[in-house]
Amino acid sequence: MIEDVQNPIDKDWWRGAVIYQIYPRSYQDSNGDGIGDLMGITERLEHVASLGADAIWISPFFKSPMKDFGYDVSDYCDVDRIFGSISDFDALIAEAHRLNIKVMIDLVLSHTSDQHSWFVESRSSRGNPKADWYVWADPKPDGTPPNNWMSIFGGSAWQWDTRRLQYFLHNFLTSQPDLNFHSPQVQEELLGVTRFWLEKGVDGFRLDTINFYVHDKQLRDNPPLEVSRRNATIAPSVNPYNHQEHLHDKNQPENLEFLKRFRAVLDEFPAITSVGEVGDAQRGLEIVGEYTSGDDKVQMCYAFEFLASDPITPKRVRDVQERFQRYAPEGWACWAFSNHDVMRHISRWSEGIHDHDAHAKLLASLLMSLRGSVCIYQGEELGLEEAELAYEDLRDPYGIQFWPDFKGRDGCRTPMVWTGATSNGGFSNVQPWLPVPPAHLSRAVNVERDDPASVLNHYKAFMTFRKRHPAFAKGEIVFEIADDQVLGFTRVFGNEIVLAVFNMTESDALATLPEGAWEALEGHGFMTGNDGNSVRLPAWGAYFARRA
């Protein structure tokens, strides 16, 4: 491809980008069936543009029986009818690009639906052409599963199949059999899927459960995990998945070779990126470092450090950032505080918090000031809290399985609220697939848009401020303060040194500034003045300056 010298392609557009995650079932219903769809996303892209986001990430919209709401794919190259059609996706791409918004889609490569034609053929016999496309194993002599691997959704990761008289592996639902990445044909087919969507015009991919692709060929048992380490997990505490050290069911070294092949496909196209979800709390940052090192694997990954329930404190933020730099000196992270799989962070970190909006603004500014790219989950920009749903309203099989000790993921997946004066928040003109919490209506887009002091307008202002200072997107990070109240660091890029100081408590704090002269910056929604070599920060306050 010949590059336009007057408008050169920015192949590093993703570095420091703000990516807005859209859960399509819950963003906007355009056809009155109570479920969001691709046309609904297209209708609402102006909102994303008004925020100042660089890209959108759309959770799965492929053909699926929807037992795990799209993460059980039955056809990788078709749109499920509830979301629309391929032509609707083409229109979405065109509108996003008109608005200078990149489009990333969610590829679920580790497993398919049991209704996928590949699995239907694979399970039909032991000798068919796709017999080894999934992970099949004989039972032990006593008929029990081949090893002790556990499913994240509870119970054994092995399901008996009466056709082949073998077990198949499923790390998630029994209806989500795992693909066998030891098969060259499987890898080729998935790389073909990747090319299909690149030729459609997508700008990148979010890779679901990127570290689950390859399993131990010898099917060795996982060792038990010491009780003291069981809080380091991506599963709820009631799940026996936490009792194992997951050495053999994921995180295999052969995965790196597949990622190199995947990256080679991306590099056939200009300015494509990828971000992998590392589903491992035991050694997540170490894996992120492996997967993003050099220029031959994925560009970005995120682990679960800031998606866990652990309180967010100055010392924890510094520890996570510095551990990432230690494990991945060449790598690049993509940080998120919320997504479609975890309790919204405003609720997760809300214990004892009285000023909801000030807390939400502080966390937003902190997230967008860290070294790395950023994922913002729909509704986060409104300061939405986790929805409390009745058991009869649940749709998530994860929550239904472990209710009431773990209520699943429906509470963070309720519909986006656009207008406060309607019962369904402007999402749909019929009963939505999940109820709209009445408490969310007062935080609808049209309500917050007209309030200069709203969380929404703070997000907009801070994104504008961030773009004026490239150090936030591209710069290195040097920590200056990390005590019980205050976090302070500089971001350094070229000749620009920007200082960011955050009071992460509900009490006033006095912070001593690093040595040197600092010129206060404006336009970020917080205080701007300092008193010589110190600054007094109100509760949930922040201060930004640059080296004078």
Catalytic residues: 208, 268
**Nearest CA to 474 among 443, 495, 457, 453?**
495
Q: Do 415 and 26 contact (CB within 8 A), yes or no?
A: yes
DSSP run (H or E) holding 487? strand 486-493
Write out 55-98 in H/E/C secondary structure: EEEECCCEECCCCCCCCCCCEEEEECCCCCCHHHHHHHHHHHHH
Q: Is the peptide bond before 404 cis (omega within 30 degrees of 0)?
A: yes
- Environment class of 122 (CB within 10 Å of its CB; exposed 0-12, middle 13-18, buried 19+): buried
Q: Which 3 state secondary structure label does DSSP give 207?
A: strand
**Nearest CA to 448 among 24, 47, 44?**
47
Could you give the angle at which helices 284-292 and 254-266 cross, rounded to 10 degrees?
Answer: 50
Q: Do 371 and 469 contact (CB within 8 A), yes or no?
A: no
Which letter, b or e, does each residue of 421-456 get, where b requires 16 or more Cβ atoms within 10 Å of its Cβ? eeebbbbbeeebbbbbbeebbebbbebbbeeeebbb
Cα(333)–Cα(276) distance, rounded to whole angstroms? 10
CA 354, distance to chain mean position in Å, is: 28
Beta partners for residue 158, in sequence order: 169
CA angle 244, 246, 250 (to 5 degrees): 150
Cβ neighbours of 286 (radius 10 Å) = 18
Beta partners for residue 542, in sequence order: 502
